DNA sequence: GCGCCTCTGTAGCAAATGTTACGTAGTCGG
DNA sequence: CCGACTACGTAACATTTGCTACAGAGGCGC
Protein backbone atom coordinates (compact mmCIF):
# COMPACT_ATOMS: atom_id res chain seq x y z
CA UNK A 1 0.00 0.00 0.00
CA UNK A 2 1.20 3.49 -0.78
CA UNK A 3 1.87 5.78 2.10
CA UNK A 4 -1.08 7.94 3.00
CA UNK A 5 -0.23 11.65 2.70
CA UNK A 6 2.09 12.53 5.55
CA UNK A 7 0.28 14.88 7.92
CA UNK A 8 2.07 18.08 8.71
CA UNK A 9 2.05 20.17 11.83
CA UNK A 10 1.40 23.28 9.78
CA UNK A 11 -1.96 21.85 8.71
CA UNK A 12 -3.30 21.83 12.23
CA UNK A 13 -4.91 24.64 14.13
CA UNK A 14 -3.55 26.90 15.51
CA UNK A 15 -0.39 26.59 13.43
CA UNK A 16 -2.37 26.70 10.24
CA UNK A 17 -3.40 30.26 10.95
CA UNK A 18 -0.04 31.67 11.94
CA UNK A 19 1.39 34.62 10.06
CA UNK A 20 4.40 33.95 7.81
CA UNK A 21 7.10 34.57 10.39
CA UNK A 22 5.45 32.11 12.73
CA UNK A 23 5.29 29.45 10.05
CA UNK A 24 8.92 30.04 9.22
CA UNK A 25 9.81 29.23 12.83
CA UNK A 26 7.84 26.03 12.57
CA UNK A 27 9.53 24.92 9.41
CA UNK A 28 12.93 25.53 10.80
CA UNK A 29 12.34 23.91 14.19
CA UNK A 30 9.83 21.12 13.86
CA UNK A 31 10.88 17.55 13.38
CA UNK A 32 8.63 14.63 12.87
CA UNK A 33 8.78 11.25 14.49
CA UNK A 34 6.97 8.00 14.01
CA UNK A 35 6.28 5.66 16.92
CA UNK A 36 4.95 2.13 16.52
CA UNK A 37 2.07 0.88 18.61
CA UNK A 38 2.56 0.20 22.35
CA UNK A 39 5.90 1.93 22.34
CA UNK A 40 6.60 3.68 25.62
CA UNK A 41 7.36 7.30 24.86
CA UNK A 42 8.17 8.75 28.20
CA UNK A 43 8.96 7.42 31.63
CA UNK A 44 7.93 8.97 34.82
CA UNK A 45 10.60 11.32 36.05
CA UNK A 46 12.06 11.85 32.63
CA UNK A 47 12.40 15.36 31.37
CA UNK A 48 10.53 16.27 28.24
CA UNK A 49 12.76 17.83 25.64
CA UNK A 50 10.22 19.70 23.62
CA UNK A 51 6.60 20.19 22.73
CA UNK A 52 4.97 17.10 21.27
CA UNK A 53 1.98 17.21 18.96
CA UNK A 54 0.07 14.21 17.80
CA UNK A 55 -0.47 14.23 14.05
CA UNK A 56 -1.82 10.72 13.62
CA UNK A 57 -2.71 7.97 16.05
CA UNK A 58 -3.24 8.15 19.79
CA UNK A 59 -1.16 8.49 22.89
CA UNK A 60 -2.17 7.31 26.31
CA UNK A 61 -0.97 8.95 29.51
CA UNK A 62 -1.16 6.65 32.47
CA UNK A 63 -0.09 6.08 36.01
CA UNK A 64 1.70 2.89 36.96
CA UNK A 65 1.33 1.49 40.45
CA UNK A 66 4.10 -0.42 42.17
CA UNK A 67 2.01 -3.59 41.90
CA UNK A 68 1.82 -3.19 38.15
CA UNK A 69 -1.73 -2.01 37.69
CA UNK A 70 -2.15 0.91 35.35
CA UNK A 71 -4.69 3.68 35.22
CA UNK A 72 -5.30 5.88 32.25
CA UNK A 73 -5.16 9.56 33.13
CA UNK A 74 -6.05 10.87 29.71
CA UNK A 75 -5.47 10.26 26.05
CA UNK A 76 -4.17 12.50 23.31
CA UNK A 77 -5.80 12.55 19.90
CA UNK A 78 -4.58 14.01 16.62
CA UNK A 79 -4.40 17.79 16.71
CA UNK A 80 -3.78 17.77 20.44
CA UNK A 81 -0.59 18.24 22.30
CA UNK A 82 1.14 16.43 25.09
CA UNK A 83 0.77 18.93 27.80
CA UNK A 84 3.56 17.28 29.67
CA UNK A 85 5.82 18.97 27.27
CA UNK A 86 4.29 22.33 28.00
CA UNK A 87 4.65 21.61 31.64
CA UNK A 88 8.27 20.88 31.39
CA UNK A 89 8.81 23.74 29.01
CA UNK A 90 7.62 26.34 31.38
CA UNK A 91 8.22 24.85 34.74
CA UNK A 92 11.22 22.59 34.82
CA UNK A 93 9.13 19.97 36.50
CA UNK A 94 9.65 16.33 35.87
CA UNK A 95 6.83 14.56 34.20
CA UNK A 96 4.72 12.66 36.70
CA UNK A 97 3.43 9.81 34.56
CA UNK A 98 4.07 7.49 31.66
CA UNK A 99 3.15 7.95 28.02
CA UNK A 100 2.63 5.25 25.47
CA UNK A 101 1.44 5.05 21.89
CA UNK A 102 -1.68 2.90 21.66
CA UNK A 103 -1.60 2.75 17.90
CA UNK A 104 1.00 3.68 15.32
CA UNK A 105 1.42 7.36 15.92
CA UNK A 106 3.11 10.26 14.20
CA UNK A 107 4.39 13.09 16.32
CA UNK A 108 5.72 16.52 15.58
CA UNK A 109 8.33 17.73 18.00
CA UNK A 110 9.09 21.38 18.54
CA UNK A 111 12.24 22.24 20.48
CA UNK A 112 11.53 24.03 23.73
CA UNK A 113 13.23 27.21 22.57
CA UNK A 114 11.14 27.36 19.42
CA UNK A 115 7.95 26.85 21.31
CA UNK A 116 8.82 29.49 23.84
CA UNK A 117 9.52 31.95 21.09
CA UNK A 118 6.23 31.15 19.40
CA UNK A 119 4.48 31.57 22.71
CA UNK A 120 6.07 34.96 23.25
CA UNK A 121 5.34 36.29 19.78
CA UNK A 122 2.12 34.69 18.63
CA UNK A 123 -1.17 35.41 20.37
CA UNK A 124 -2.69 32.37 18.68
CA UNK A 125 -0.14 30.11 20.29
CA UNK A 126 -0.64 31.74 23.65
CA UNK A 127 -4.34 31.16 23.54
CA UNK A 128 -3.90 27.64 22.36
CA UNK A 129 -1.47 26.91 25.18
CA UNK A 130 -3.64 28.31 27.89
CA UNK A 131 -6.73 26.66 26.55
CA UNK A 132 -5.02 23.33 26.33
CA UNK A 133 -3.66 23.50 29.85
CA UNK A 134 -6.91 24.73 31.12
CA UNK A 135 -8.93 21.92 29.55
CA UNK A 136 -6.54 19.46 30.99
CA UNK A 137 -6.93 20.88 34.46
CA UNK A 138 -10.64 20.59 34.00
CA UNK A 139 -10.38 17.03 32.81
CA UNK A 140 -8.06 15.96 35.59
CA UNK A 141 -10.23 17.50 38.26
CA UNK A 142 -13.14 15.59 36.85
CA UNK A 143 -11.19 12.35 36.93
CA UNK A 144 -10.02 12.94 40.45
CA UNK A 145 -13.49 13.63 41.58
CA UNK A 146 -14.76 10.55 39.84
CA UNK A 147 -12.32 8.31 41.61
CA UNK A 148 -13.36 9.60 44.99
CA UNK A 149 -17.04 9.94 44.40
CA UNK A 150 -17.99 6.90 42.40
CA UNK A 151 -17.65 3.21 42.90
CA UNK A 152 -15.87 1.05 40.40
CA UNK A 153 -19.23 -0.24 39.26
CA UNK A 154 -20.36 3.25 38.44
CA UNK A 155 -17.14 4.15 36.72
CA UNK A 156 -17.33 1.07 34.55
CA UNK A 157 -20.90 1.86 33.59
CA UNK A 158 -19.75 5.34 32.77
CA UNK A 159 -16.93 4.02 30.64
CA UNK A 160 -19.32 1.89 28.64
CA UNK A 161 -21.76 4.72 28.16
CA UNK A 162 -19.27 7.37 27.21
CA UNK A 163 -16.95 5.33 25.06
CA UNK A 164 -19.39 3.15 23.19
CA UNK A 165 -19.43 4.06 19.56
CA UNK A 166 -22.68 5.12 17.96
CA UNK A 167 -23.28 1.47 17.15
CA UNK A 168 -23.70 0.90 20.88
CA UNK A 169 -20.64 -1.29 20.95
CA UNK A 170 -17.38 -0.74 22.77
CA UNK A 171 -14.43 -2.38 21.08
CA UNK A 172 -12.07 -2.96 23.93
CA UNK A 173 -10.91 -6.04 25.77
CA UNK A 174 -11.78 -6.40 29.42
CA UNK A 175 -8.11 -6.16 30.21
CA UNK A 176 -7.99 -2.75 28.57
CA UNK A 177 -11.02 -1.62 30.51
CA UNK A 178 -9.28 -2.77 33.65
CA UNK A 179 -6.20 -0.74 32.82
CA UNK A 180 -8.31 2.22 32.02
CA UNK A 181 -10.04 2.16 35.38
CA UNK A 182 -7.04 1.10 37.39
CA UNK A 183 -8.31 -2.34 38.26
CA UNK A 184 -7.92 -5.90 37.05
CA UNK A 185 -9.53 -7.96 34.39
CA UNK A 186 -11.26 -10.27 36.85
CA UNK A 187 -13.07 -7.45 38.53
CA UNK A 188 -14.23 -6.06 35.22
CA UNK A 189 -15.41 -9.52 34.22
CA UNK A 190 -17.34 -9.88 37.45
CA UNK A 191 -19.16 -6.60 37.01
CA UNK A 192 -19.87 -7.15 33.34
CA UNK A 193 -21.10 -10.61 34.27
CA UNK A 194 -23.75 -9.12 36.52
CA UNK A 195 -24.98 -6.92 33.74
CA UNK A 196 -25.00 -9.74 31.24
CA UNK A 197 -27.20 -11.73 33.62
CA UNK A 198 -29.46 -8.72 33.98
CA UNK A 199 -29.73 -8.40 30.23
CA UNK A 200 -28.17 -4.94 30.12
CA UNK A 201 -25.27 -5.82 27.87
CA UNK A 202 -23.93 -8.54 25.66
CA UNK A 203 -20.25 -9.45 25.64
CA UNK A 204 -18.10 -11.18 23.14
CA UNK A 205 -14.43 -11.47 22.51
CA UNK A 206 -12.97 -8.00 22.21
CA UNK A 207 -16.21 -6.07 22.39
CA UNK A 208 -19.17 -5.24 24.58
CA UNK A 209 -22.55 -4.30 23.22
CA UNK A 210 -24.98 -2.14 25.15
CA UNK A 211 -28.50 -3.54 25.15
CA UNK A 212 -30.09 -1.22 27.69
CA UNK A 213 -28.13 2.02 28.02
CA UNK A 214 -30.91 3.62 30.03
CA UNK A 215 -30.59 1.01 32.75
CA UNK A 216 -26.84 1.55 32.81
CA UNK A 217 -27.31 5.28 33.22
CA UNK A 218 -29.54 4.61 36.16
CA UNK A 219 -26.66 2.84 37.87
CA UNK A 220 -24.74 6.08 37.89
CA UNK A 221 -26.67 7.83 40.63
CA UNK A 222 -28.70 5.34 42.64
CA UNK A 223 -26.27 4.03 45.23
CA UNK A 224 -28.14 0.73 45.35
CA UNK A 225 -25.51 -1.18 43.43
CA UNK A 226 -26.52 -4.70 42.45
CA UNK A 227 -29.69 -6.47 41.56
CA UNK A 228 -31.70 -7.43 44.62
CA UNK B 1 -7.89 45.20 67.86
CA UNK B 2 -6.66 47.42 65.09
CA UNK B 3 -6.84 46.08 61.61
CA UNK B 4 -3.60 44.58 60.38
CA UNK B 5 -2.36 46.32 57.24
CA UNK B 6 -4.68 45.37 54.43
CA UNK B 7 -2.74 43.32 51.89
CA UNK B 8 -2.95 44.54 48.36
CA UNK B 9 -2.87 42.64 45.13
CA UNK B 10 -0.28 45.05 43.76
CA UNK B 11 2.17 43.86 46.43
CA UNK B 12 2.24 40.35 45.11
CA UNK B 13 4.33 38.91 42.35
CA UNK B 14 3.87 39.15 39.42
CA UNK B 15 1.70 42.24 39.78
CA UNK B 16 4.33 43.97 41.84
CA UNK B 17 6.64 44.03 38.87
CA UNK B 18 4.22 45.26 36.25
CA UNK B 19 4.96 48.42 34.32
CA UNK B 20 2.79 51.46 35.10
CA UNK B 21 0.09 50.83 32.54
CA UNK B 22 -0.39 47.34 33.90
CA UNK B 23 -0.71 48.62 37.45
CA UNK B 24 -3.22 51.16 36.31
CA UNK B 25 -5.38 48.38 34.94
CA UNK B 26 -5.16 46.62 38.27
CA UNK B 27 -6.17 49.66 40.24
CA UNK B 28 -9.12 50.30 38.08
CA UNK B 29 -10.37 46.74 37.91
CA UNK B 30 -9.50 44.92 41.09
CA UNK B 31 -11.92 44.65 43.95
CA UNK B 32 -11.25 43.06 47.26
CA UNK B 33 -13.44 40.71 49.21
CA UNK B 34 -13.31 39.21 52.65
CA UNK B 35 -14.65 35.73 53.34
CA UNK B 36 -15.07 34.31 56.81
CA UNK B 37 -13.87 30.83 57.65
CA UNK B 38 -15.66 27.76 56.26
CA UNK B 39 -17.65 29.89 53.87
CA UNK B 40 -18.37 28.10 50.63
CA UNK B 41 -17.12 30.24 47.80
CA UNK B 42 -18.09 28.33 44.73
CA UNK B 43 -20.35 25.45 43.93
CA UNK B 44 -19.69 22.82 41.39
CA UNK B 45 -21.18 23.82 38.08
CA UNK B 46 -21.16 27.49 38.91
CA UNK B 47 -19.46 29.84 36.52
CA UNK B 48 -16.56 31.83 37.86
CA UNK B 49 -16.95 35.51 37.21
CA UNK B 50 -13.34 36.63 37.37
CA UNK B 51 -9.84 35.82 38.46
CA UNK B 52 -9.50 35.24 42.18
CA UNK B 53 -6.28 35.79 44.07
CA UNK B 54 -5.74 34.87 47.67
CA UNK B 55 -4.18 37.72 49.63
CA UNK B 56 -4.58 36.31 53.13
CA UNK B 57 -5.82 32.99 54.46
CA UNK B 58 -6.36 29.73 52.63
CA UNK B 59 -8.84 28.26 50.24
CA UNK B 60 -9.54 24.60 49.82
CA UNK B 61 -10.73 23.07 46.57
CA UNK B 62 -12.48 19.79 47.06
CA UNK B 63 -14.67 17.17 45.51
CA UNK B 64 -17.90 16.19 47.17
CA UNK B 65 -19.26 12.68 46.77
CA UNK B 66 -22.97 11.92 46.74
CA UNK B 67 -22.61 10.20 50.10
CA UNK B 68 -21.18 13.34 51.62
CA UNK B 69 -17.50 12.47 51.88
CA UNK B 70 -15.13 15.11 50.71
CA UNK B 71 -11.68 14.93 49.23
CA UNK B 72 -9.29 17.81 49.00
CA UNK B 73 -7.99 18.32 45.49
CA UNK B 74 -5.64 21.15 46.33
CA UNK B 75 -5.34 24.24 48.47
CA UNK B 76 -4.59 27.81 47.60
CA UNK B 77 -2.21 29.87 49.69
CA UNK B 78 -1.60 33.61 49.76
CA UNK B 79 -0.04 34.83 46.54
CA UNK B 80 -1.65 32.06 44.57
CA UNK B 81 -4.65 32.16 42.35
CA UNK B 82 -7.74 30.09 41.95
CA UNK B 83 -7.03 28.50 38.69
CA UNK B 84 -10.66 27.70 38.30
CA UNK B 85 -11.08 31.30 37.46
CA UNK B 86 -8.44 31.08 34.78
CA UNK B 87 -10.15 28.01 33.49
CA UNK B 88 -13.46 29.69 33.18
CA UNK B 89 -11.85 32.82 31.83
CA UNK B 90 -10.35 31.14 28.87
CA UNK B 91 -12.51 28.18 28.28
CA UNK B 92 -16.09 28.78 29.22
CA UNK B 93 -16.05 25.58 31.17
CA UNK B 94 -18.03 25.18 34.32
CA UNK B 95 -16.02 24.67 37.43
CA UNK B 96 -15.85 21.00 38.36
CA UNK B 97 -15.47 21.25 42.13
CA UNK B 98 -16.25 23.16 45.29
CA UNK B 99 -14.20 25.87 46.94
CA UNK B 100 -14.27 26.86 50.56
CA UNK B 101 -12.32 29.18 52.83
CA UNK B 102 -10.64 27.22 55.60
CA UNK B 103 -9.70 30.31 57.56
CA UNK B 104 -10.70 33.94 57.28
CA UNK B 105 -9.51 34.84 53.84
CA UNK B 106 -9.07 37.98 51.81
CA UNK B 107 -9.44 37.75 48.08
CA UNK B 108 -8.74 40.09 45.24
CA UNK B 109 -11.05 39.71 42.30
CA UNK B 110 -10.14 40.80 38.81
CA UNK B 111 -12.92 40.97 36.23
CA UNK B 112 -12.43 38.55 33.38
CA UNK B 113 -12.02 41.32 30.85
CA UNK B 114 -9.29 42.98 32.89
CA UNK B 115 -7.42 39.76 33.30
CA UNK B 116 -7.65 38.94 29.64
CA UNK B 117 -6.28 42.34 28.76
CA UNK B 118 -3.41 41.91 31.20
CA UNK B 119 -2.71 38.50 29.75
CA UNK B 120 -2.61 39.89 26.23
CA UNK B 121 -0.38 42.83 27.04
CA UNK B 122 1.90 41.76 29.85
CA UNK B 123 4.48 39.01 29.38
CA UNK B 124 4.80 38.71 33.15
CA UNK B 125 1.15 37.85 33.47
CA UNK B 126 1.35 35.39 30.63
CA UNK B 127 4.19 33.54 32.23
CA UNK B 128 2.51 33.59 35.57
CA UNK B 129 -0.66 32.18 34.09
CA UNK B 130 1.00 29.37 32.23
CA UNK B 131 3.21 28.50 35.14
CA UNK B 132 0.27 28.40 37.48
CA UNK B 133 -1.80 26.19 35.23
CA UNK B 134 1.12 24.03 34.53
CA UNK B 135 1.95 23.45 38.19
CA UNK B 136 -1.62 22.59 38.82
CA UNK B 137 -1.64 20.02 36.06
CA UNK B 138 1.46 18.57 37.60
CA UNK B 139 -0.07 18.51 41.03
CA UNK B 140 -3.33 16.97 39.89
CA UNK B 141 -1.58 14.25 37.94
CA UNK B 142 0.37 13.44 41.04
CA UNK B 143 -2.78 13.24 43.11
CA UNK B 144 -4.51 11.07 40.58
CA UNK B 145 -1.61 8.74 40.45
CA UNK B 146 -1.45 8.60 44.20
CA UNK B 147 -5.06 7.55 44.50
CA UNK B 148 -4.57 4.68 42.09
CA UNK B 149 -1.16 3.57 43.14
CA UNK B 150 -1.15 3.82 46.90
CA UNK B 151 -3.29 2.40 49.65
CA UNK B 152 -4.99 4.62 52.12
CA UNK B 153 -2.41 3.62 54.70
CA UNK B 154 0.37 4.87 52.46
CA UNK B 155 -1.41 8.06 51.61
CA UNK B 156 -2.00 8.82 55.25
CA UNK B 157 1.65 8.22 56.06
CA UNK B 158 2.50 10.51 53.20
CA UNK B 159 0.18 13.18 54.51
CA UNK B 160 1.84 13.07 57.90
CA UNK B 161 5.31 13.21 56.44
CA UNK B 162 4.69 15.99 53.98
CA UNK B 163 2.46 18.21 56.05
CA UNK B 164 4.09 17.96 59.42
CA UNK B 165 5.63 21.25 60.39
CA UNK B 166 9.31 21.39 61.16
CA UNK B 167 8.41 20.64 64.77
CA UNK B 168 7.39 17.18 63.60
CA UNK B 169 3.83 17.86 64.54
CA UNK B 170 0.78 18.02 62.32
CA UNK B 171 -1.94 20.29 63.63
CA UNK B 172 -5.05 18.82 62.12
CA UNK B 173 -7.96 16.88 63.51
CA UNK B 174 -8.48 13.33 62.36
CA UNK B 175 -11.69 14.44 60.75
CA UNK B 176 -9.77 16.92 58.64
CA UNK B 177 -7.28 14.26 57.62
CA UNK B 178 -10.22 12.12 56.63
CA UNK B 179 -11.65 14.85 54.45
CA UNK B 180 -8.29 15.47 52.96
CA UNK B 181 -7.87 11.87 51.89
CA UNK B 182 -11.47 11.27 50.97
CA UNK B 183 -12.22 8.88 53.79
CA UNK B 184 -13.80 8.97 57.23
CA UNK B 185 -12.56 9.78 60.69
CA UNK B 186 -12.88 6.21 61.94
CA UNK B 187 -10.61 4.87 59.29
CA UNK B 188 -8.01 7.50 60.05
CA UNK B 189 -8.27 6.72 63.74
CA UNK B 190 -7.77 3.04 63.07
CA UNK B 191 -4.63 3.57 61.04
CA UNK B 192 -3.19 6.12 63.41
CA UNK B 193 -4.00 3.72 66.22
CA UNK B 194 -1.77 1.08 64.66
CA UNK B 195 1.09 3.50 64.48
CA UNK B 196 0.58 4.69 68.02
CA UNK B 197 0.82 1.07 69.19
CA UNK B 198 3.97 0.65 67.14
CA UNK B 199 5.46 3.76 68.70
CA UNK B 200 5.74 5.63 65.42
CA UNK B 201 3.58 8.57 66.38
CA UNK B 202 1.91 10.19 69.33
CA UNK B 203 -1.60 11.62 69.07
CA UNK B 204 -3.43 14.15 71.08
CA UNK B 205 -6.45 16.32 70.57
CA UNK B 206 -6.01 18.29 67.39
CA UNK B 207 -2.48 17.25 66.61
CA UNK B 208 -0.30 14.30 65.72
CA UNK B 209 3.40 14.16 66.52
CA UNK B 210 5.84 12.09 64.50
CA UNK B 211 8.16 10.03 66.65
CA UNK B 212 9.77 7.90 63.98
CA UNK B 213 9.49 9.55 60.56
CA UNK B 214 11.93 7.08 59.06
CA UNK B 215 9.67 4.16 59.87
CA UNK B 216 6.75 6.01 58.34
CA UNK B 217 8.70 6.62 55.15
CA UNK B 218 9.39 2.94 54.97
CA UNK B 219 5.66 2.30 54.84
CA UNK B 220 5.49 4.16 51.57
CA UNK B 221 7.09 1.56 49.38
CA UNK B 222 7.07 -1.84 51.07
CA UNK B 223 3.69 -3.26 50.29
CA UNK B 224 3.73 -5.19 53.56
CA UNK B 225 1.16 -3.02 55.28
CA UNK B 226 0.64 -3.74 58.94
CA UNK B 227 2.77 -4.80 61.85
CA UNK B 228 3.50 -8.51 61.84
C1' DG C 1 -18.19 22.13 89.36
C1' DC C 2 -21.45 21.29 85.50
C1' DG C 3 -23.17 20.94 81.04
C1' DC C 4 -22.16 20.98 76.44
C1' DC C 5 -19.55 20.37 72.60
C1' DT C 6 -15.84 18.53 69.83
C1' DC C 7 -12.32 15.27 69.24
C1' DT C 8 -10.60 10.68 69.96
C1' DG C 9 -10.40 5.36 70.75
C1' DT C 10 -12.43 1.04 69.72
C1' DA C 11 -15.18 -2.81 68.28
C1' DG C 12 -17.79 -5.39 65.06
C1' DC C 13 -20.00 -6.00 60.88
C1' DA C 14 -20.94 -5.19 55.82
C1' DA C 15 -19.59 -4.09 51.34
C1' DA C 16 -16.30 -3.45 47.78
C1' DT C 17 -12.32 -4.71 45.73
C1' DG C 18 -8.08 -7.37 44.87
C1' DT C 19 -5.98 -12.15 44.38
C1' DT C 20 -5.44 -16.75 43.15
C1' DA C 21 -6.58 -20.37 40.51
C1' DC C 22 -8.61 -22.89 36.83
C1' DG C 23 -11.54 -24.03 33.12
C1' DT C 24 -13.63 -22.65 28.63
C1' DA C 25 -14.04 -20.51 24.20
C1' DG C 26 -12.68 -18.01 20.14
C1' DT C 27 -8.79 -17.17 16.60
C1' DC C 28 -4.96 -18.11 13.88
C1' DG C 29 -1.42 -20.60 11.57
C1' DG C 30 0.14 -24.72 10.19
C1' DC D 1 -7.79 -30.99 12.78
C1' DC D 2 -4.10 -29.50 16.16
C1' DG D 3 -1.60 -26.63 19.04
C1' DA D 4 -0.72 -22.23 20.77
C1' DC D 5 -2.22 -18.08 22.13
C1' DT D 6 -5.33 -14.73 23.80
C1' DA D 7 -9.62 -13.38 25.83
C1' DC D 8 -13.32 -14.57 28.77
C1' DG D 9 -16.16 -16.78 32.86
C1' DT D 10 -16.16 -18.00 37.43
C1' DA D 11 -15.49 -19.35 42.10
C1' DA D 12 -13.40 -19.03 46.62
C1' DC D 13 -10.86 -16.37 49.56
C1' DA D 14 -8.09 -12.30 51.71
C1' DT D 15 -7.84 -7.46 52.42
C1' DT D 16 -9.22 -3.07 52.55
C1' DT D 17 -12.34 0.20 53.43
C1' DG D 18 -16.79 2.09 54.95
C1' DC D 19 -20.42 2.26 58.36
C1' DT D 20 -22.73 2.03 62.87
C1' DA D 21 -22.47 2.45 67.58
C1' DC D 22 -20.87 3.81 71.77
C1' DA D 23 -17.61 5.35 75.51
C1' DG D 24 -14.08 8.32 77.18
C1' DA D 25 -11.41 12.64 77.27
C1' DG D 26 -10.22 17.51 76.56
C1' DG D 27 -11.76 22.20 76.33
C1' DC D 28 -14.88 26.09 77.22
C1' DG D 29 -18.44 28.93 79.06
C1' DC D 30 -21.35 29.68 82.93
Please give the sequence-ordered ranges of beta strands (E in DSSP) within A50-89, or none if there are none. 50-56, 59-64, 70-76, 81-82
Residues of B with CB under 8 A from a CB of A: 63-67, 69, 71, 73, 83, 86-87, 90-91, 93, 96-97, 119-120, 123, 126-127, 129-131, 133-138, 140-145, 147-150, 182, 221, 223
Say if residue B3's pLDDT is above 70.
no
Chain C positions with an atom below 7 A of a protein C-beta are 6-12, 15-21, 26-27
Comparing CA positions, the residue from B16, B227, B18 lying closest to residue B121 is B18
Torsions phi, psi for A191 (to 5 deg): -65, -45
The whole-number pLDDT of residue A152 equals 95
The whole-number pLDDT of residue A4 equals 58
Q: Where are the domains of chain A?
A: 11-148, 151-221
Q: How far apart are CA A207 and CA A96, in angstroms?
A: 32
Q: Dump pLDDT digits (tens) for B178-187.
A: 999 999 999 9
Of the options 2.30.30.100, 1.10.240.10, 2.115.10.20, 2.60.120.10, the CATH number for the domain spanning A11-148: 2.60.120.10
The whole-number pLDDT of residue A224 equals 43
Predicted-assembly ipTM surpassing the 0.90 threshold: no
Residue A168 contacts residue A136 (beta carbons within 8 Å): no
Best mutation target, A46, A76, A146, A149, to test chain B (most B CBs within 10 A): A149
Q: Do B140 and A135 touch (CB under 8 A)?
A: no
CATH 2.60.120.10 fits B17-148, yes or no: yes
Say if residue B226's pLDDT is above 70.
no
- Lowest-confidence region among A25-39, A88-102, A138-152: A88-102
The whole-number pLDDT of residue A89 equals 67
The whole-number pLDDT of residue A210 equals 96
Q: Dump pLDDT digits (tens) for B195-205.
A: 999 999 999 99
Residues from chain B contacting residue A64 (CB–CB below 8 Å): 149
Q: Which of B73, B134, B149 sits opposite A86 (nearest CB)?
A: B134
Contacts of B204 (CB under 8 A, 6+ apart): none
The whole-number pLDDT of residue A93 equals 74
Per the prediction, chain B carries an average pLDDT of 86
Say if residue A112's pLDDT is above 90.
no
Q: Residue B165: pLDDT band by 50, 70, 90 thresholds?
A: confident
Of the options 1.10.10.10, 3.30.1330.10, 2.10.10.90, 3.40.1380.20, the CATH number for the domain spanning A151-221: 1.10.10.10
Query: Does residue B119 have a cis peptide bond before it, meaning omega lies within 30 degrees of 0?
Result: no
Amino acid sequence: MTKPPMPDLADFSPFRDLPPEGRRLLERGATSRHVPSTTPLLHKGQKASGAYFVLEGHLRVYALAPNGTEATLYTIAPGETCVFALNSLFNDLLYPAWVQAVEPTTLAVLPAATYRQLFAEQPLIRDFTVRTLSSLVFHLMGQLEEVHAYTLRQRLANLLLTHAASSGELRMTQQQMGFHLGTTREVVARLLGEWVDAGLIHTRRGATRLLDPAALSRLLDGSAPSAD
